[in-house]
């Protein structure tokens, strides 16, 4: 090959490399082109090996042409490399772009069950009135659940509460009153305590009966405690709980551990006593809410307290019922349904 032919071939190779460099779309592809054309086995090296066939002055001329071509190719390579690098950086920027002004996604974390919310509210009200909070036991002895509350074996009142038993004779508590004897026996007098807790009964469930429910027991024993203390305490609590001046009506009832037994009723805030049917008070205007009464002397005596010196009162209000009336819930079974449509309203 003479100088002219080699020069032509060099021009063809240079054009080919420059075209490929320009057309490359990513840095790895660009590097491959560089390796393919400029390596020891590439076409430029091939041309170089033909130098010895030229005359001495032609060798110099062609050597210069090859160097010039290499330099042009290197410049084109450097330029394209920078372009591709910039392109990649911009692409990455677009992908990872964050608009810090967009409001964050709200994470749903749930909330306390309505019964728990209002149990805490009730506890706060009683604590402000000087009551301490005592946790009941989930299962307790027959003595604590019945006998110490003036309900001996064979007493007909047991039929109202007789319930689940463990095989070794313990009872999942049927009422928070099961804690009354323990409190009276173990606490120094005077005593003011509430027992918020879960109770269990063998019930055919319906809109107002559940096998599992919540109560708040109250116990108050001191010298010279009268019925008016009981009425005043409950009226203060219920007015604070319902955030209005609650009216009470009291009718006689029967519970073996109090004497006399009372049923405390409150005025219905849903119908406010207006004519017509009301599903909350069933048209009666009054709602039976808190069974209560002065503690029976037998109960005090069994706890080692002299009924001639001390007197007191107790109640066992249904927390579920309190909540139902507060929110106008008509069916007790919603509480344990686990239905989010219900729970999310609170
Ligand atoms: Zn009503």
For the chain, give every domain's residue range: 3-95, 114-343
Q: How far apart are the CA of 6 and the centre of ligand 1, in A?
A: 110
The answer to whether 69 is a known catalytic residue is: no
Which position among 161, 221, 292, 296 bears the catalytic label? 161
Q: State yes or no: is 221 an active-site residue.
A: no
Q: How confident is the model at residue 195 (pLDDT cuts 50, 70, 90)?
A: very high
Say yes or no to pLDDT of 62 above 90: no
- Asked if pLDDT for residue 273 goes beyond 80, the answer is no
Q: For residue 201, what are its two tokens?
A: 């009964």
**Residue 175 known to be catalytic:** yes
pLDDT-derived band at 323 (thresholds 50, 70, 90) equals: very high
CATH architecture, domain 114-343: 2-Layer Sandwich (3.30)
334 is known as an active-site residue: no
Mean pLDDT calculated for residue range 304-325 = 93
Q: How far is CA 241 from its chain centroid?
A: 24
The active-site residue, picked from 219, 269, 290, 314, is: 314
- 126 Cα to the center of ligand 1, angstroms: 26
Kindly state the percentage of the chain with pLDDT values over 70: 100
Read off the tokens for 137: 């036991």
Q: What is the DSSP letter of 284?
A: S
User: What is the pLDDT at residue 35?
Assistant: 84
**Which residues are CB-contacts of 76 (< 8 A; sequence separation ≥ 6)?**
17, 18, 21, 22
For range 83-91, the mean pLDDT: 88
Q: For 71-94, what is the mean pLDDT?
A: 89
Q: Is 165 a catalytic residue?
A: no
Would you state the pLDDT for residue 244? 94
The percent of residues in the chain predicted with pLDDT above 90, rounded, is 49
Position 310 confidence tier, pLDDT thresholds 50, 70, 90 = very high
φ and ψ at 318, to 5 degrees?
-85, 115
Q: What is the mean pLDDT of the chain?
A: 89
Q: Judge whether residue 128 has pLDDT over 80.
A: yes
**Four-residue CA torsion sign, 264, 267, 268, 274:** positive
Eight-state DSSP code of residue 111:
-
Spot the catalytic one: 119, 181, 201, 296.
201
Arithmetic mean of pLDDT, 319-341: 89
Q: Tell which residue, 121, 153, 146, 173, has the closest CA to residue 322.
A: 121
Residue 30 CB partners (closer than 8 Å, separation 6+): 21, 24, 77, 80, 81, 84
pLDDT score, position 59: 85
Q: What distance in angstroms lies between residue 275's CA and the mean position of ligand 1's atoms?
A: 9
What's the 302 CA to ligand 1 centre distance in angstroms?
41
Q: Return the pLDDT at 184.
A: 93
Q: Per-residue pLDDT for 112 more than 80?
A: yes
Spacing, Cα 324 to ligand 1 middle (Å): 13
Closest CA to 313 of 186, 193, 161, 185: 193
Q: Cα-flanking dihedrals φ and ψ of residue 321, to 5°?
A: -65, -40
According to the model, what pLDDT value does residue 89 have?
Answer: 86
Q: What mean pLDDT do residues 177-196 have?
A: 93
Residue of 80, 119, 175, 296 with catalytic role: 175
Q: What is the mean pLDDT of residues 309-318?
A: 95
Report how far ligand 1's centroid is from the alpha carbon of 287 (Å): 8
Residue 259, annotated ligand binder?
yes
Compute, in angstroms, the gap from residue 305 CA to the centroid of ligand 1.
Answer: 42
Question: How crowded is the C-beta side of 207, counted as CA atoms within 13 Å?
Answer: 7
Of the residues 180, 215, 246, 296, only one is catalytic, namely: 215
Residues 7-24: what's their mean pLDDT? 90
Q: Which of 51-55, 224-228, 333-337, 340-344 has the lowest mean pLDDT?
A: 51-55
Q: Say how far apart CA 254 and CA 271 lie, in whole Å.
A: 28
274 Cα to the center of ligand 1, angstroms: 8
Compute the average pLDDT of residues 279-284: 82
Q: Is 312 helix (H, G, I), strand (E, B) or coil?
A: strand
Would you say residue 36 has pLDDT above 90? no
pLDDT at res. 262:
95
Concerning whether 258 is annotated as a catalytic residue, the answer is yes
Element (DSSP H or E) covering residue 199: strand 191-200
More confident residue, 273 or 165: 165
Out of 134, 145, 195, 258, the active site residue is 258
Average pLDDT of the segment spanning 54-75: 87
Mean per-residue pLDDT for 20-39? 87
pTM here is 0.67
Query: In 140-179, which residue ranges form alpha helices assigned H by DSSP?
Result: 142-145, 158-161
Is 203 or 306 the better-scoring residue by pLDDT? 306
Hunting for tokens 């405690």 — which residue is that?
A: 225
By mean pLDDT, which of 200-209, 223-232, 296-305, 321-330 is the weakest?
Answer: 200-209
Q: How far is the CA of 175 from the centre of ligand 1 (A)?
A: 27
Judged on CB neighbours under 10 Å (0-12, 13-18, 19+), 146 is buried
């Amino acid at each position: 090959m003479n100088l002219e032919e080699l020069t032509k071939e060099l021009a063809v190779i240079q054009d080919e490399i420059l075209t490929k460099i320009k057309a490359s779309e990513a840095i790895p592809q660009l590097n491959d082109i560089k390796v393919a054309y400029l390596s020891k086995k590439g076409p430029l090296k091939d041309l170089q090996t033909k130098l010895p066939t030229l005359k001495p002055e032609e060798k110099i001329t062609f050597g210069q042409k090859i160097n010039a071509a290499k330099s042009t190719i290197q410049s084109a390579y450097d330029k394209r490399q920078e372009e591709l690098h910039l392109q990649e950086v911009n692409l990455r920027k677009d992908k990872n772009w964050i608009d810090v002004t967009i409001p964050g996604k709200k994470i749903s974390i749930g909330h306390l069950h309505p019964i728990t919310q209002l149990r805490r509210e009730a506890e706060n009200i009683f604590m402000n009135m000087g009551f301490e909070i005592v946790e009941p036991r989930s299962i307790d002895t027959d003595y604590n659940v019945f006998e110490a509350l003036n309900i001996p074996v064979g007493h007909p009142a047991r039929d109202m509460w007789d319930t689940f038993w463990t095989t070794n004779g313990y009872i999942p508590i049927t009422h928070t009153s099961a804690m009354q004897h323990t409190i009276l026996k173990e606490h120094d007098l005077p005593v003011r305590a509430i027992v918020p807790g879960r109770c269990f009964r063998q019930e055919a469930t319906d809109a107002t009966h559940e096998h599992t429910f919540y109560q708040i027991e109250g116990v108050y024993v001191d010298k010279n405690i009268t019925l008016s203390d009981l009425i005043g305490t409950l009226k203060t609590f219920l007015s604070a709980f319902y955030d209005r001046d609650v009216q009470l009506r009291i009718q006689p009832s029967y519970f073996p551990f109090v004497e006399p037994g009372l049923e405390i009723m409150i005025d219905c805030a849903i119908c406010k006593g207006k004519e017509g049917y009301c599903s909350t008070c069933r048209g009666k205007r009054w709602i039976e809410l808190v069974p209560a009464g002065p503690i029976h002397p037998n109960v005090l005596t069994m706890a080692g307290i002299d009924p001639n010196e001390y007197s007191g009162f107790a109640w066992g209000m249904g927390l579920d019922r309190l909540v139902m009336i507060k929110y106008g819930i008509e069916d007790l079974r919603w509480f344990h349904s686990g239905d989010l449509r219900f729970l999310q309203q609170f």
